[in-house]
Amino acid sequence: MPLKNTKRLPADAGKLINMALALLSSGSRIEDHFWERHIDALLIKNLRNGNQPTLEAVLTCAQDNYPEIYDMLADLIETHSESFTWVDPKQPDVRWDALLVAVPILVWTRYSLPSGPLSKEAVKKLQNMLEDCIFATTARVGLAPNLYSIDQLPEQYVDTWRLAQQMSKATLLGTAMPAIPKVPEQTASALADSRFLVAMVMAPTGEALFRWQEEPHTGLTARQASLAAWIEQNSDILPTLLPGCEWECLLPDALHSACREADEHIRPHMLSTVVRYLTEALELQPSAFRAVIAPFGEKQVTEYRISFTLRGLNDVLYGMVWPLYEREEDHLSRSQDSENEALHPADEIAALLKKNGVTDIRRYPDCLEPQYCDDCASPLYVDPHGDIVHAEMPEDANVAQPQLH
């Protein structure tokens, strides 16, 4: 299959596309391994050389021209940026499997969301808890001494790879963990968000990294048991790390996978917190508000935007973006009249609004192109008339977000 529209595609990007197409066409597991080895080697080369533009070009080309290989390539790039085999230079026969792990905590509050450095005592306690509940008994674990927001984690694959390399060396040598350099200011408007611990776990090649791998026959049950133990032990330390907050712990996992899980699971908490925020700021009951649910996306629905107004009025007071994820986008693209209506994202949003006391709910039928404010870059929302507008709280509303830490 010839490459399309790739005149300016970097050489390695073109090779990766060709090999991925060959892998897709393979008819045997032996041939699969052949192409996988060559793809792996070329991806590792580009990560090591810091060649982020080539990796981005690969994904852009696949998404635009070969969607059938996009998920495969994205998964391989993510995998190699966060995991690798570490070879001891002094003992070449000694090899370690290394994985960069995110430990997600969903947090929601009326106050400001905490993040930043952790005390040595907190790091030690958290690492001991991870070793007891999550990681295999023979694994080595290193924990970064910070609580991170998603904006503070590496955005680029090459930066993730560098961080994983640095943390693996620190874990094996017992030296200080590297700091993640990007620390943007926190936005005061965040009512609910994810927070992350970042850990490195290493084990001799072929041995278990996670506790639930130690007894493979237990499968999903062991994962659930690890999560339950992690939640139970966190009940003592999280109140001190997250003052004035409510939280939910998710299962630690590979960095990219755990971040996606957190993004998806924070949405209901965010919506509930928005309703509570509005009722407190305007001193009204949830039933005083109306919500407009509208689909947005360029080629297909990729998110819903939820507008909040007072009942009987049209001014949008507040808005929230509910992003969709791959399985939800697939559900919408397959059928708009699914037999299982409970899976439809708009139904899920409406049910959650009703659960929180907002009963006046309108749905905008057409998919709209996402628009943003030219001045502040905030998302724009749909009012009850179908106009795209900026969300603005009344001047006399109690919108201050107090600091608690």
pLDDT of residue 400: 58
Write out the E strands in 257-329.
289-296, 303-310, 318-323
In the predicted structure, residue 4 carries a pLDDT above the cut 70: no
CB 95 within 8 A of CB 86: yes
Per residue in 268-306, pLDDT (tens digit) is 999 999 999 999 999 999 999 999 999 999 888 999 999
Note the pLDDT tens digit of each residue in 13-43.
999 999 999 999 999 999 999 999 999 999 9
What DSSP designation does 304 have? E
* pLDDT band, very low/low/confident/very high, at 218 (cuts 50, 70, 90): confident
134-156 pLDDT, tens digit per residue, is 999 999 999 999 999 998 999 99
Helix, strand, coil content of the chain in percent (nearest 5)? 45, 20, 35
How confident is the model at residue 3, as a pLDDT?
55
Q: Which tokens is 234 given?
A: 């966190």
Q: Which two tokens stand for residue 276?
A: 């509570």
Residues 6+ away with beta carbon under 8 Å from 249: 104, 105, 106, 227, 230, 231, 234, 238
Q: What is the pLDDT of residue 404?
A: 33
Q: Tokens 């003992």 identify what position?
A: 91
pLDDT for residue 340: 47
Show the tokens assigned to 204: 């001799």
Any bridge partners for residue 198, and if so which?
A: 102
Residues 365-385: tens digit of each pLDDT: 999 999 999 988 899 999 999
**Structure tokens, 186:** 């926190």
CB 334 within 8 A of CB 328: no
Q: Is the pLDDT of residue 402 over 90?
A: no
Over residues 184-216, the pLDDT tens digits come to 554 445 789 999 999 999 999 999 999 999 988
Does the structure show a pLDDT above 50 at 403? no
pLDDT tens digits along 65-79 = 999 999 999 999 999
Within its chain, how far is the Cα of 86 from the centroid? 26
Find the helix or strand (DSSP H, E) in which 235 lies. helix 220-241
Confidence bin at 133 (pLDDT 50/70/90): very high
* pLDDT at residue 227 greater than cutoff 50: yes
Q: What DSSP assignment string belongs to 166-210?
A: HHHHHHHHT-PPPPP---PPPPTT-SEEEEEEEEEEEEETTS-SB
What is the average pLDDT value for the chain, to the nearest integer?
89
Confidence of residue 113 (pLDDT cuts 50, 70, 90): confident
Q: What angle do CA 93, 97, 98 make, to 5 degrees?
A: 130
What pLDDT is attached to residue 187? 41
Q: Give the integer Cα–Cα distance in Å for 384 and 316.
A: 9
Band (pLDDT 50/70/90 cuts) for residue 399 is: low
Determine the pLDDT at residue 87: 86
**DSSP run (H or E) holding 5:** none
Q: Name 211's Cβ contacts closer than 8 Å, sequence gap at least 6.
A: 133, 134, 135, 136, 137, 222, 226
Identify residue 221 by its one-letter amino acid code.
Answer: T
- Identify the CA nearest to 84 among candidates 252, 213, 255, 251: 255
Q: Which of 148, 165, 105, 150 is nearest to 129 (CA)?
A: 105
Predicted confidence at residue 217, as pLDDT, reads 84
Q: How far, in Å, CA of 289 to CA of 275, rounded?
A: 9
Structure tokens at 30: 């032996």
pLDDT-based confidence at residue 260 (cuts at 50, 70, 90): very high
Alpha-carbon span 252 to 196, nearest angstrom:
9
**Alpha carbon of residue 7 to chain centroid:** 33
Mean per-residue pLDDT, 344-359? 95
Bridge partners (DSSP) of residue 361 are: 291
With a cut of 60, say whether residue 334 has pLDDT above it. no
Pairing of strands 360-363, 289-296: parallel
Per-residue model confidence as pLDDT tens digits over 78-98: 999 999 998 877 778 889 999
Q: What one-character DSSP code corresponds to residue 158?
A: H
Q: Which residues pair with 105 in a beta bridge?
A: 195, 249
Per-residue pLDDT band at 395 (split at 50, 70, 90): confident
What angle is formed at CA 156 by the lines to CA 151 and CA 160, rounded to 5 degrees?
Answer: 90
Q: Report the percentage of the chain scoring pLDDT > 70.
A: 90
For 164, the token pair is 């994983």
The answer to whether the CB of 223 falls within 8 A of the CB of 114 is: no
Phi, psi of 213, deg, nearest 5: -85, -15
